Amino acid sequence: MTELDDLAELAKRRGFFFPSNEAYGGTAGFYTYGPEGAALKRNLEDTWRDIFVREEGHMELEAPTVMPEAVFEASGHLDGFDDMIIECVECGSTHRADHLVEDAVEDIEDAEAYDPEAVAELIADHGIECPSCGAPLADTDVEEFNLMFGTNIGPGSSSPGYLRPETAQGIFVEFPRLKEYARNQLPFGVAQIGRAYRNEISPRRALVRVREFTQAELEHFIDPETDEPPLERVADVEVPLYSAEAQNADDGGVEAYTVGEAVEEGVIGSEWVAYYLGRAMDFYERIGIDMERFRYRQHLTGERAHYAADCWDAETELGGNWVEVTGFAYRSDYDLSKHGEYSGEDFTLFRQYDEPKTVERATVDPDMSYLGPEFGGAAGDVADALAALAGRDRSAFDGEEVTVEVDGESYTVPVEKTGFSVEEQTEAGEHITPHVVEPSFGVGRLVYSVLIHRHGTDEVDGEQRAFLDLPADIAPTTVAVFPLMTKDGLDDRAEELAHELRESGFEVAYDDTGNIGRRYRRQDEVGTPYCVTVDYETLEDGTVTVRERDSTDQTRVAVEDLSDALRRLVSGATLAEL
């Protein structure tokens, strides 16, 4: 069995995650987190909050998962949120076309960057067949498929809406109110952890590609001219970078840089992106990612969004494949500008000048008594177009006439009827549209990566054991309490102790089934870092046995000191230091 097969069996048997709705045949792309998985996921999210919200001083909100159609018209998701689909003419099954290419062509890792025609050619050139029935897919069209889940808001179909494909839009649309909470001062960040939905063509690889998933996203709003990241905090952090240049070279590979070196040498184009690449290293290490199976990969030109100046993905190696777990993007002012344009609301902030400035401003004051009879219902739009033209190109008003375009039609106006003039104005500042830096984390993929990276086997007392060496503050259960025997009051004292530890804030499991060795193995398998055994010595001298998962070492600790001892262990102390 592969490590992925091992984990799939463990995940279902021990309650980490499993396919949803199995009583009704299951629904592809949906997973339920069981008791162990839900606790692990919650601890991972709390660690993310600790680093990216509390330590950075950012805000957090919780937005609806259903949003009106207009939001996604503005964001571009209705027109450009597509994947490539191919339908087998023999059996009618549909497949993600770029994934078929990636699976079949050894030197292509990211076929998503190709256009549909190029993917169709690759399918034909390499004789790729339908995975379901084996029929050839050559000469089959590759088409774009929009991934949005549609719905209606309220009765009928008058208010179309969509399940959000990312949590980010729930932050962007609330910017006019959020800037007030930030006292109209940049920079400020807003975070959100929540569900997102994408109607994936071919859900696969467990939690890697699903139709409902959790994102942890931060939108950091900045003034691109004046705001700089605190790079000195992460300048010496070492990051494994797989740059675009290295990807395009025959012998290119991952290279280690400090964040400071990567910025100085121009490997990372955005200082803000560089800051968050460095900041995130602490997060990945704390949750248990194997840093020998981790890299930052820079987006190639063809896969980078048109509005993004620099993009990097954090990737983990899972079963021989590299999987994106986080995207880091400099999104410029694209999102706020679009929502300002479509909504008519103010998505800008006022930037105060150090000293007032005298500037020349071109303005128009059109003669509406001329424009009205001349252009009828289009007169108002013509006036707006004249004002916009004056703001961007005053030379257009140098002649006797000026022409503007409204809804694809040209309108010519005598300059004398436009009221064009250039005036000197004293201004205290200007309105700017903030730029956005976005680290976006896929929580499910991170949970999956941690489980794979931390799953192992070894031999203890002549027996093979499976274990998860999860960090103590990430593990679903901190401590398990056992009675040595279920008699002579040992079980009663063990249950009392379990209750006392829960009241002290620990996640506690109680287990009195089977022999002690078997109970240890069960807890090792789900990653519980410490086990406490109540035995006959406990009743005599008030001490218990504390056993550590990774080393399997044990020591005696007084019950009255147990809570403090466990807190020290979780913070990094060893049994020998107790």
Give residue 27's region: left, alpha or beta (phi > 0; psi -120 to 50). beta
Which position has the higher pLDDT, 302 or 95?
95
| Among the listed residues 68, 216, 69, 81, the one whose alpha carbon sits nearest the alpha carbon of residue 148 | 81
> In this predicted structure, what is the pLDDT of residue 55?
97
Displacement of CA 268 from its chain's centroid (Å): 20
Confidence of residue 543 (pLDDT cuts 50, 70, 90): very high
Please state, for a pLDDT cut of 90, what percent of the chain lies above it: 83
- The conformation of residue 420, written as its DSSP 8-state character, comes to -
The kind and range of the H/E element at 10 are helix 3-14
Q: How far is CA 118 from CA 98, 100, 402, 406, in A?
A: 10, 13, 45, 37
| Cα(503)–Cα(516) distance, integer angstroms | 25
Quick one: CA torsion of 512, 540, 573, 48, rounded to 10 degrees? 40
Query: How many other C-beta atoms lie within 10 A of the C-beta of residue 51?
Result: 15
Burial group, residue 16, by CB count within 10 angstroms (0-12, 13-18, 19+) = buried
Beta bridge partners of 204: 209
Torsion sign, CA atoms 514, 518, 522, 524 = positive
Torsion angles phi and psi, residue 98, rounded to 5 = -65, -30
Lowest mean pLDDT among 98-102, 167-171, 525-529, 561-565: 98-102
pLDDT single digits (tens) 367-376: 999 999 999 9
DSSP of 185-247: -S-EEEEEEEEEE---SS-BTTTTB-SEEEEEEEEEEE-TTT----GGGTTT-EEEEE-HHHH
Residues 510, 480: contact at Cβ < 8 Å?
yes
Q: How far apart are CA 127 and CA 117, in angstroms?
A: 15
Helix 3-14 and helix 443-453: axis angle, to 10°? 110
pTM to 2 decimal places: 0.87
Q: How far apart are CA 176 and CA 189, in angstroms?
A: 14
Identify the pLDDT of residue 556: 97
Note the pLDDT of residue 307: 67
Instruction: Summarize pLDDT for 201-247 with one digit per residue, the tens.
Output: 889 889 999 999 999 999 999 999 999 999 999 999 999 999 999 99
Q: pLDDT tens for residues 410-429?
A: 999 999 999 999 988 888 88
Residue 304: its pLDDT value, please? 72
Q: At what angle do helices 271-287 and 35-49 cross, to 10 degrees?
A: 140
Distance of CA 279 to the CA centre of its chain: 15
Assess whether pLDDT exceeds 80 at residue 80. no
DSSP, collapsed to helix, strand or coil, labels residue 459 as strand
Flag whether pLDDT at 559 surpasses 90. Answer: yes
pLDDT at position 426 is: 82
**pLDDT of residue 44 exceeding 70:** yes
- Relative orientation angle of helices 443-453 and 35-49, to the nearest 10 degrees: 110
Q: HEC string of 133-202?
A: CCCECCCCCEEEEECCEEEECCCCCCCEEEECCCCHHHHHCCHHHHHHHCCCCCCEEEEEEEEEECCCCC
pLDDT at res. 357: 87
Say if residue 303's pLDDT is above 80. Answer: no
- H helix or E strand, kind and range, residue 498: helix 490-503
Pairing of strands 530-534, 479-483: parallel
Residue 506 has pLDDT above 70, yes or no: yes
What confidence score (pLDDT) does residue 502 get?
A: 98
Give residue 306's pLDDT.
Answer: 62
Euclidean distance between CA atoms 55 and 295, whole angstroms? 24
pLDDT for the residue 359: 84
Report angle CA 241, 242, 246 to the nearest 5 degrees: 130
Sorting pLDDT into bands at 50, 70 and 90, what band is 309? confident
Q: Are 482 and 532 in contact (CB under 8 A)?
A: yes
Indicate if the pLDDT at residue 310 is higher than 90.
Answer: no
> Looking at 303-312, 458-467, 528-537, which range is the least confident one?
303-312
Average pLDDT over residues 462-467: 90
- In this predicted structure, what is the pLDDT of residue 425? 85
Q: Is residue 299 over pLDDT 80?
A: yes
Question: How far is the C-alpha of 33 from the C-alpha of 129, rounded, in Å?
Answer: 34
| Amino acid found at 260 | G
pLDDT confidence band for 112 (50 / 70 / 90)? confident
pLDDT tens-digit map of 137-148: 988 899 998 899
Preceding peptide of 160 cis, ω within 30°: no
Mean pLDDT taken over the chain: 94
Query: In whole angstroms, how large is the CA radius of gyration of the chain?
Result: 30
Return the percent helix, strand and coil in the chain, to nearest 5: 35, 30, 35
Q: Give the strands of the sheet with 149-152, arranged side by side.
A: 66-68, 160-163, 149-152
